[in-house]
Chain A
Amino acid sequence: MTGQILPGARSDGSAWSVGAVGGAVAPGCGSSGGVRCVGGGVGGIGASPVRPDGALKVRGEFAFSSDLWADDMLWGATLRSPHPSATIRGIDVGAALAVPGVYAVLTADDVPGDRHYGLEVADQPVLAVDEVCYRGEPVAIVAADHPETARRAAERIVVDYGVREPVTDPEVALAGGRLVRHVPIRKGDPAAVAEVVVTGEYRVGMQDQAFLGPESGLAVPAPDGGVELYVATQWLHADQRQVAAALGLPVELVRLSLAGVGGAFGAREDLSMQVHASLLALRTGRPVKMVYGREESFVGHVHRHPAILRYEHGATRDGELVYVRARILLDGGAYTSTTPAVVANAASLGVGPYRVPNVTVDAYGVHTNNPPCGAMRGFGAVQACFGYESQMDRLAEAVGLDPVEVRVRNALAEGGSMPTGQVVEGPAPVARLLELVRDRPAPPPVGDDPRQLPGGVANTTAPEQVVRGVGYAIGIKNVCFSEGFDDHATARVRLELIGGEPTALVHTAAAEVGQGLVTVQAQIARTELGVERVVVATADTSVGSAGSSSASRQTYMTGGAVRAACRAVRAALLARLAGGSGAGADDGGVADDGGAVGDGGVVGDGGTVGDGGGRVAGGGLELAGGVIRDAAGRTLGTLVDLLAAGPVERSVRWRHRPTRPLDPVTGQGDAHVQYAFAAHRATVDVDPELGLVRVVEIATAQDVGRAINPQAVLGQIQGGTAQGLGLALMEELQVVDGVIRNPSFTDYLIPTILDVPPMAVDVLELADPHAPYGLRGVGEPPTISATPAIVAAIRAATGLPLARVPVRPEHLTGTG
């Protein structure tokens, strides 16, 4: 999947690309135009150093949260509701408590603090309170000396349910007043008319994040009455806040450390077993471990919101958009989770990366008795993109234009205005990304290697039975948290001599969920501090919040915080160089809004673009290889000498520029921090007779602003594209009357390596003047447009309308 590097393949030197065939590594330090790695030299930003968890993971030696162990620990198990909707008339735990080896059986009555939690709204019960609202909702928990004993005991709890008819249809829920949030967007003339009108209704099924590492963790009671919780999560401090509230403890008595995370994709943003294990640990005075089984995991986390999208696009005969009207309905399931923010994304990004003078969008999120839905990679933008990109193809057909041409004609550009009225600042290379994927060489024609044919190695299909199709799509995603959320990240950086060598210690609470964040933090420290040795501490709550590893934000936010803290350390070093701070231990200090405070003495930071790294103080000083030199190259001092007086430590809380709420009536407002764009061209071969699809190749182009770690960027683009392919062709939780009917990896299908095609990747590095190093969030955009591009390609091959994903064989054979 990775391919040959073609350095300088693009004329402006701010892009690189990876071909669809061959094999090579991503560009390293200095291989792309304009990149200058000062500082550490080896393994700084722009390089792709070996990640510390890589070899362990491929050897099966990495310790995941499910591998945690304490010698005297107990095992927790959860009794879950068998009904999507029921009242609870009574719970009898007597038989469970009587099971030998059982130490505790707890229900809602045993929750000492808040009995409800939630990321945005605390409406989800820690344990069911008087009713259950989805199948799989936790009702009671058990601690025992063996996991089987705990499960067996849980089965003996008698719950008297009054079963109710579940509400599982989101339209019924909306009509019945179960609204979570309505986000209207009003721009321009609501009565605008157009020469050409295309309409469509589209549906997106419920996708699962399908991480491999089940929800798991270990809670250890502490002598001070608190609890130490080791857990795989995306946001330690959000967990801490909610766990402490449920336990009725001050937050400082609930201390979390990140355990090995086996994938996240949004599914670990809400709590799962965190409070339960802590409750059991505090009750029994013993460490308690909980590990969900696979079936349990499928009801143990939120999913992607299924969506019904109705669109009407009006345009001139030349294909220029006049208006877009849309109604988007998202099924939030039983509890609120992040539904309000997902609705806002679907609404504010609902017309895509296009200039549209007149916009009327109404997006709704509703409560049903289906499994709760919340964060998943793409977060509202995925669903909308399938709608608006399907519409752009219909428009292209209606006006007789090529699908790329109609998109380019309407492409948003820098300085353009979103439906929210927000002006897009910084590069918005929508047209260029489309042209990049369009201009990629076409993949080879249909061959006779069965692996490349529909049906694959099952030898179903001969080349002459194949129809080829090509489809395009482009998507838009907001990066970081929006709508006025106080979004910040804290980093603590300490520079000291260890074994005589200057060593940077970086400590944040940012969750490494597999994306490579530990490596990125080390790279930034190397570049900023001119050292090679960097130790990144385990993420925990003894340092300030880093915010969530979601919204494509963590390299931006925690990366920004690490950079600011490093620069504060540098400033302190310069003060030492000038003899200002004297010898002895440096007591550091916390600087808020590190962009200003704590960065004193750093030049080149005003616009925050460019590397900045290594250049210190006003006179063009440079810090590299542990040596500070002036502009003439004269050595002024060394880190070894400066640090002999003791370590330097700085902690910085860093924020992105503020955003604004959306006006509740018009949906106007500068709600988003940064926009990210990716385009896909999918080439598919279809066997229409048998309904089989083979994605032959995907060409994709994405602007990443600045690739801090090119190999990790490629990994995000390839993995995100594969996840989008999954939604296009196979991934769907089958929910029947509120019950997930395929809760296993044999029945919930995700793409295998044989389903994932070679990818041709173009990466643009067009700096965002507001972002650290000019970077742009990378993780989500590849998932968004992959799905509609593949479906467009199947439509092109078959002529079928295909208004719902995933597309399955029966939708192509015309008999389903």
Chain B
Amino acid sequence: MRPFDYTAAQSVSQALAGGGAGTAYLAGGTTLVDLMKLEVMTPRQVVDINRLPLRGVSADRDGLHVGALERMSDVAGHPLVTGGYPVLAQALLRSASPQLRNMASIGGNLLQRVRCGYFRDTSTGCNKRRPGSGCPAVDGENRGHAILGTSDSCVATHPSDLAVALVALDARVRLVGRGGTRDVRLADFYLLPGDTPEREHDLRPGELVTRVTVPALAWATRSAYLKIRDRQSYEFALASAAVALDLRGGVVRDVRVAVGGVGTRPWRLPAVEEALRGRAARPEVFEAAAALAVEAARPLTHNGFKTTLLRRTIVRALTNLVG
């Protein structure tokens, strides 16, 4: 770990004053400290934001609001979440381990870095870590990597489960900086790697994520997060699907589908949704729609299985929701 200066901010304005290039905000620390030990992240200044008043889970006419410093465990168990948005509670509970969920913040979860082994190994090239140094994953160990949204520069999978569920629900994040406050759709917040994989999201230097808002969606009570992984717990997704279903009389009135473990960012699937809307909730309809999910898939040497697995994951998620 490189030497750094540590300060604890007492207010948002104080945190913003200390922010900027070379500074990292510390919340739960479950990503940052790990990557600092590996020297993948080497901030000169660490600003602890845990004392900021960015807490609370509430609901109003606009929807559900979650403070960015809420811990994953607390949000997963909150009645407004479990009652109104099961997909969120499930995505949270199927992330990481209880110990990590007790520490990790909502904001930090959305900003967590990729799990690519090359990103974490400073002895290798990585365009995300060191722009222009190449992407060894393209021809290397890429079983866990993405099949959607990849570029020649980066094929790393976005790691967050929560973000997949939030993207399915059209969530927004509130970003506060010295220049002011703005709300951004989470789906737009994350950037494709393209030629600049070091830019993962639309957060400007010094900006803070202060809260997440999920627009009210009455039929999100029929929603679920289905996750396929290599062991029963504490493991990232090989494929996952966040699905919400407005089902009336056996017909899909409306639907949301986003997938994880397969994309370079949380991956909303509007074409799949369109193919389901107004159709009978039947296996062949689900299968035809799910096939659209992988039309643009670009499998790598070791993750070709994800194409089929993703289709089946979507079908299963829909099937289980119909019940």
Contacts and interface: CB of A to CB of B under 8 A. Distances in A.
Interface of A: 82, 148, 293, 295, 451, 455-460, 462, 465, 689-692, 694, 729-730, 734, 736, 741-742, 744, 746-747, 749, 751-752, 754-755, 808-810, 813-816
B99 interface: no
A741 B140 contact: yes
A747 B228 contact: no
Given A751-B231, A813-B308, A741 B141 contact: yes
B302 to A, nearest CB: 8
A460 B38 contact: no
Interface stretch (B75-83, B183-191, B233-241): B233-241
B305 A813 contact: yes
A742 B141 CA distance: 9
The 8 closest A-B pairs by CB, nearest first: A456-B232, A810-B305, A754-B232, A816-B305, A815-B308, A741-B141, A815-B305, A458-B227
Contacts of A462: 320
Interface stretch (B17-25, B53-61, B205-213, B309-317): B309-317
A749 B235 contact: yes
A443 B316 CA distance: 27
B248 interface: no
B228 A455 contact: yes
Contacts of B93: 457
A690 B117 contact: no
A749 B235 CA distance: 8
B229 A458 contact: yes
Interface centre among B121, B231, B238 (most CB of A within 10 A): B231
Nearest to A293: B37
Contact of B320 (A148, A451, A459): A459
Nearest to B90: A459
Contact of B230 (A736, A749, A754, A813): A749
Contact of B233 (A459, A752, A808): A752
B230 A690 contact: no
B309 A813 contact: yes
B272 interface: no
A816 B320 CA distance: 25
Interface string B59-88: 000000000000000000000000000000
B186 to A, nearest CB: 22
B231 A458 contact: no
Nearest to A747: B117
A433 B3 CA distance: 59
A747 B316 contact: no
B228 A460 contact: yes
24 contacts: A82-B123, A148-B3, A451-B232, A456-B232, A458-B226, A459-B226, A459-B320, A460-B228, A460-B316, A689-B316, A690-B312, A730-B231, A746-B115, A749-B230, A752-B232, A752-B233, A752-B234, A755-B232, A809-B238, A810-B309, A813-B308, A813-B309, A814-B308, A815-B304
Contacts of B120: 744
B228 A459 contact: no
A692 B312 contact: no
B232 A460 contact: no
A749 B231 contact: yes
Nearest to B234: A752
A736 B140 contact: yes
Interface string B296-312: 00000000110111001
A810 B233 CA distance: 18
B87 to A, nearest CB: 11
A293 B312 CA distance: 39
Contacts of A755: 231-233
A816 B235 contact: no
Contacts of A455: 227-228, 232
B61 to A, nearest CB: 31
Given A295-B38, A458-B226, A458-B229, A741 B117 contact: yes
Contacts of A815: 304-305, 307-309
Given A456-B233, A462-B320, A741-B141, A690 B38 contact: no
Nearest to B238: A809
A670 B180 CA distance: 82
A742 B233 CA distance: 18
Given A457-B232, A747-B115, A809 B226 contact: no
Given A730-B230, A741-B117, A457 B37 contact: no
Given A459-B224, A689-B316, A816 B304 contact: yes
Given A690-B316, A752-B234, A754-B232, A457 B305 contact: no
A82 B141 CA distance: 17
B268 interface: no
Contacts of A809: 228, 230, 238, 305, 309
B281 to A, nearest CB: 16
Contact of B141 (A689, A729, A736, A814): A736
Given A458-B228, A741-B117, A815-B308, 9 more contacts: A455-B228, A458-B232, A460-B226, A741-B140, A741-B141, A746-B115, A752-B233, A755-B231, A813-B312
B94 interface: yes
A692 B235 contact: no
A456 B307 CA distance: 22
B33 interface: no
B209 to A, nearest CB: 24
Interface in B119-177: 120-121, 123, 140-141, 143
A330 B211 CA distance: 55
Contacts of B288: none
A808 B230 CA distance: 7
A543 B18 CA distance: 60
Nearest to A746: B115
B285 interface: no
A809 B309 CA distance: 9
Given A82-B123, A458-B226, A691 B231 contact: no
Contacts of B235: 749
Nearest to A450: B232
Nearest to B227: A458
A701 B282 CA distance: 48
B312 A754 contact: no
A744 B233 CA distance: 16
A690 B309 CA distance: 6
Contacts of A730: 230-231
A729 B229 CA distance: 12
Contacts of B271: none
A752 B235 CA distance: 10
B40 to A, nearest CB: 11
A755 B94 CA distance: 15
Interface in B89-122: 90, 93-94, 115, 117, 120-121
B71 to A, nearest CB: 19
Contacts of B238: 809
A455 B238 CA distance: 12
Interface centre among A690, A749, A755 (most CB of B within 10 A): A690
Contacts of B309: 690-691, 809-810, 813, 815
Contacts of B305: 691, 809-810, 813, 815-816
B77 to A, nearest CB: 14
Contacts of A456: 232-233
A516 to B, nearest CB: 27
A375 B229 CA distance: 30
Contacts of A747: 115, 117
Contacts of A459: 90, 224, 226, 320
A109 B224 CA distance: 63
Contacts of B121: 741
Interface centre among B233, B307, B313 (most CB of A within 10 A): B233
A744 to B, nearest CB: 8
Contact of B228 (A82, A692, A744, A751): A692
A729 B235 CA distance: 14
